[in-house]
Amino acid sequence: MATTTETAVGTATEAAKAAAGAAEQSGGGLPNPMHQFEIVRYWHLNLFGFDASFTNSALAMVLAVALITAFILYAMRHKSLVPNRIQSVAEMAYEFVENIVRQTAGEEAMAYFPFVFTLFMFILVSNLLGLINIPGVFAPFTSTSHIVITFAMAAFVFLGVTVIGIAKHGVGFLKLFVPSGVPAVMLVLLVPIEVISYFTRPVSLSVRLFANMMAGHTMLKVFGAFVGALGLAGIAPLLFMVPFTGLEFLVAFLQAYVFAILTCIYLNDALHIHH
Amino acid sequence: MDAHAAKLIGAGIACIALAGAGVGIGNIFGNYLSGALRNPSAAQGQFGNALLGFALAEATGLFGLVMAFIILFAF
């Protein structure tokens, strides 16, 4: 008798544990907020041992590039001196980035304007694409919410800026790490700090974009799940969600702006060494 | 204490970093606003810099959040 009760209790505890584990996996009955970042392979492809499958991330990036190209080509098809509505939108985007480059990196940096414009438009459209959801037709995927994508861009900016700086100044580029007007004793401390801060640039540049996108989307998903789970009381999280979705649109634009402006600041450092 | 509980507590502690981001963002916009009230004509030209400061301050807090995510999902 005693043994049967023991086994029964043991099974009950195990069942409870399993149930708790299941509830934990699904976030206590709510949908997992991390599920939206899952990479799905649409077309399997193996190139020389590397997994080069066409994924939903790749689809989002191709879509972003196609949208930008289509928009610019369509808007500029007349190339009239007095722009119509859509042409002036394209010109506004152009002038916005032009102002960033000219004001932060100077006239010389205009040679790199196409690169900064491409970066800005790609990040902006990728961020905004993730916020559009048409149920059943288009599921959002933000390619910039993965550090692989953002770090690739940031590493490219970092390497490019370093190469430009060395090509322009040669060994003089190392003056970037030596602040001027500082006593020699302090240089022992300051030069390592400058070197470390230079090499953390790609990390901070990429993590800023990726963390903003991931945190924003996770938060929206968590509060969105509350709306459904609370029933009638869900109106409270819904009222919270509406302004926060607006804030996410602002963040999507702001992060593209910040990425572009920091690229220009780094370019300025490499082009005009005035430490 | 089992490892799972320690993980959850650690992720919660990592989120304290966001308090610093809150202080920083409040500082930036508070100072921007007080500067803008003193000299409204110069305010428009500095709004871009205020936004840049906002993004830089927010990022440091988000690094803490990323640590929380790494603790929760990567280990």
pLDDT (tens place) for every residue of chain B, 75 residues total:
788 888 899 999 998 988 999 999 999 999 999 999 999 898 888 888 888 888 888 888 888 888 888 888 777
DSSP state of B71: I
Please identify which residue in the block is written with the tokens 């509830």: A23
Question: Cβ–Cβ of B62/A204 closer than 8 Å?
Answer: no
pLDDT (average), residues A8-19: 45
- Which of B7, B15, B49, B65 should one mutate to test binding to chain A, selecting the residue with the greatest count of A CBs within 10 A? B65
Closest A-chain CA to B15: A215
The predicted structure's pLDDT at residue A26? 47
Question: A55 has which bridge partners?
Answer: A41
| Proportion of chain A above pLDDT 70, given as a percent | 88
Per-residue pLDDT tens over the stretch A216-227: 888 888 888 888
Per-residue pLDDT tens over the stretch A57-85: 888 899 999 999 999 999 888 888 888 88
* Average pLDDT of chain A, as a whole number: 83
Question: A47 has which bridge partners?
Answer: A50
Strands A46-47, A50-51: pairing kind: antiparallel
Q: What is the 3-state secondary structure (H, E, C) of chain A?
A: CHHHHHHHHHHHHHHHHHHHHHHHHCCCCCCCCCHHHCCCEEECCEECCEECCEEHHHHHHHHHHHHHHHHHHHHCCCCCCCCCHHHHHHHHHHHHHHHHHHHHHCHHHHHHHHHHHHHHHHHHHHHHHCCCCECCCECCCCHHHCHHHHHHHHHHHHHHHHHHHHHHHHHHHHHHHCCCCCCHHHHHHHHHHHHHHHHCHHHHHHHHHHHHHHHHHHHHHHHHHHHHHCHHHHHHHHHHHHHHHHHHHHHHHHHHHHHHHHHHHHHHHHHCCCC
For residue B38, how far is the Cα from the chain centroid?
A: 27
Question: Cβ–Cβ of A207/B66 closer than 8 Å?
Answer: yes
C-alpha torsion sign, points B23, B26, B32, B37: negative
**Chain A residues within 8 A of B55 when measuring between CB atoms:** 208, 254-255, 257-258
DSSP state of B1: -
CB neighbour burial string for B61-72, b if at least 16 within 10 angstroms, e if fewer: bbbbbbbbbebe
Question: Cβ–Cβ of A211/B55 closer than 8 Å?
Answer: no
- Which of B51, B71, B72 should one mutate to test binding to chain A, selecting the residue with the greatest count of A CBs within 10 A? B51
- Which of A207, A208, A247, A264 should one mutate to test binding to chain B, selecting the residue with the greatest count of B CBs within 10 A? A208
**Chain A residues within 8 A of B62 when measuring between CB atoms:** 207-208, 211-212, 215
pLDDT (average), residues A179-193: 86
- The CA-to-CA distance between both ends of chain A, in Å, stands at 85
Least confidently predicted of A111-120, A134-143, B60-69: A134-143
Question: Cβ–Cβ of A208/B55 closer than 8 Å?
Answer: yes
pLDDT (average), residues A131-148: 82
What are the sequence ranges of the domains in chain A?
41-271
Gap from B34 CA to chain A (nearest CA, Å): 23
Question: Cβ–Cβ of B65/A211 closer than 8 Å?
Answer: yes
Question: A46 has which bridge partners?
Answer: A51
Pick A139 or A15 by higher pLDDT: A139
The predicted structure's pLDDT at residue A29? 66
Q: Which of A211, A255, A258 sits opposite B63 (nearest CB)?
A: A211
Q: How many domains does chain B have?
A: 1
Gap from B41 CA to chain A (nearest CA, Å): 19
CATH number of the domain that B40 lies in? 1.20.20.10
pLDDT above 80 (res A239)? yes
- Residue A137 main-chain phi, psi, to 5 deg: -110, -50
| Chain B interface, Cβ < 8 Å to A | 48, 51-52, 54-56, 58-59, 62-63, 65-66, 69, 73
pLDDT above 70 (res A14)? no
Residue-range definition of the domain harbouring residue B69 = 3-74
Amino acid letter for position B21: A
The predicted structure's pLDDT at residue A28? 57
